[in-house]
Amino acid sequence: GRTWQRRESNTDDPLHAIWFASNTEGWIVGWKGVILRSTDSGKTWQHEQSTTNKTLNSLWITRGRIPWVVGESGLILKYERN
């Protein structure tokens, strides 16, 4: 059968949403502007630079793999790839 496997997020802050853009690339958002990104199917998570310390509630990733995030006080963030 299938089982749940624990993964470490490297943060103690509450996490609110997760979304995978592909089989390998995933994103998590949460409290105080926390944004985490995985490029290895969620085995490890790295902190991404956030421009806010407001709570981030949800995210969505377009077909073009561009993450959008919404948070408290009407905040909207769009990820810009360099």
User: How far apart are alpha carbons 49 and 31 in whole angstroms?
Assistant: 14
What string of pLDDT tens digits covers the 82 residues of the chain?
799 999 999 999 999 999 999 999 999 999 999 999 999 999 999 999 999 999 999 999 998 889 999 999 999 999 987 7
